[in-house]
Amino acid sequence: MSNRYDVIPDIHADIDRLERTLDALGGGATLAFLGDFIDAGTATREADDAAVLTRVRQLVVERGAVAVMGNHELNAILFHTLGKDGIPLRTHSDKNKAQHRSFERQFGISTPQAKVWVDWFTTLPLWLDLGGLRLVHACWSQPDIDLIRKRRPDGCLSREDFPEIAAEETDFAKAVKNLVTGPELPLPEEHQAFQDAGGHPRRQVRIAWWRSTATTWQDAALSVPTPSELPDGDLPQNRDVTFYPVDAKPVLTGHYKMTGKPTVETSNAACLDFPADPCAYRWNGETRLTDDRLLVV
């Protein structure tokens, strides 16, 4: 395996974007995917979950590409898996079905074809440590990885973990969820909810865990369209979020649907998911991530 990696974030069933990205990268380095292969957003013109999955699996088998699991793959596993009571581990609510629409349209629910891909999702590790480079879908939290590793040393989940993960109650389940969806903090009780991008009131604020110098709500918040709706002051002291240490190895993530010009925010942690300007990162062994390794497709 080469020690160069071309890292590709969330494809979300956009086969055209995947092919353009592969063409732009050219194929000199090992490919690495950050998960969320499936479930097209509303803006995708030609959603084709099957084409994306077939292509990525082929790259894994034939070209030694590597990939981590995204929250959409974990959700799909739970959606198509029945619990002991015969009820799906992820409820088939209108919201969950809407999010999973493009996959369901091609494969149905719990069909043999859907199961083929659910089984493949199960082979994807929650994180990868590639020596000088780390990959995770949403959050590299060392305490959570250490906890999961005690049961699953290679970061790959097992079928018997799924009911526990669906219930979201144990420390193991919470750790898994944090790696694939990222940390959130509740607003202080006395503070008003903010409006999310969909216009819905929300009290849980996504936290940019890679901004290790952030101290205030305004510094740390992600996905808050009107930051002035956030509290003015500092984050709570007794918070449950681990910021990424400034001296830790570089890590790349997807997931956050960032807006604005694609950029490496900190020199050892960067989110590559900029849906309006699809990116890849060409890692060449450097210990400090830089903007000039970002390729906007």
- What is the distance in angstroms between the CA of the first residue and the CA of the last residue of the chain? 25
Measured from the CB of residue 37, what is the shortest distance to Mn ion in angstroms? 10
Q: Is the dihedral of CA 264, 269, 271, 272 positive or negative?
A: positive
User: 229 or 244: whose CB is closer to Mn ion?
Assistant: 244
Spatial separation of the C-alpha atoms in residues 202 and 221, rounded to whole Å: 13
Q: Is-contact 251 134, C-beta < 8 A? A: yes
User: 202 or 255: whose CB is closer to Mn ion?
Assistant: 255
Q: Which two tokens stand for residue 18?
A: 């995947």
Measured from the CB of residue 90, what is the shortest distance to Mn ion in angstroms? 15
Measured from the CB of residue 1, what is the shortest distance to Mn ion in angstroms? 26
- DSSP letter string over 146-161? HHHHHH-TTS---GGG
User: 103 or 231: whose CB is closer to Mn ion?
Assistant: 103
Measured from the CB of residue 287, what is the shortest distance to Mn ion in angstroms? 26
Report which residue's Cβ sits closest to Mn ion.
Answer: 255
Half-sphere exposure of 184 (CA within 13 A, CB side): 14
Measured from the CB of residue 277, what is the shortest distance to Mn ion in angstroms? 17
User: 224 or 235: whose CB is closer to Mn ion?
Assistant: 224
Measured from the CB of residue 104, what is the shortest distance to Mn ion in angstroms? 18
Which pairs with CB-CB distance under 8 Å and at least 24 residues apart come from 57-66? 57/120, 59/31, 63/27, 63/30, 63/31, 64/1, 64/30, 65/30, 65/31, 65/32, 65/33, 66/5, 66/30, 66/31, 66/32, 66/33, 66/128, 66/130, 66/135
Q: Is-contact 187 178, C-beta < 8 A? A: no
Measured from the CB of residue 137, what is the shortest distance to Mn ion in angstroms? 6
User: 66 or 272: whose CB is closer to Mn ion?
Assistant: 272
User: 145 or 235: whose CB is closer to Mn ion?
Assistant: 145
* Run of H or E including 6: strand 5-8
Measured from the CB of residue 34, what is the shortest distance to Mn ion in angstroms? 9
Residues that bind Mn ion (CB under 5 A): 36, 70-71, 255
User: 6 or 39: whose CB is closer to Mn ion?
Assistant: 39
User: 34 or 224: whose CB is closer to Mn ion?
Assistant: 34
Spatial separation of the C-alpha atoms in residues 32 and 202, rounded to whole Å: 33
Which pairs with CB-CB distance under 8 Å and at least 24 residues apart come from 293-297? 293/264, 294/262, 294/263, 294/264, 295/24, 295/25, 296/262, 297/17, 297/20, 297/21, 297/24
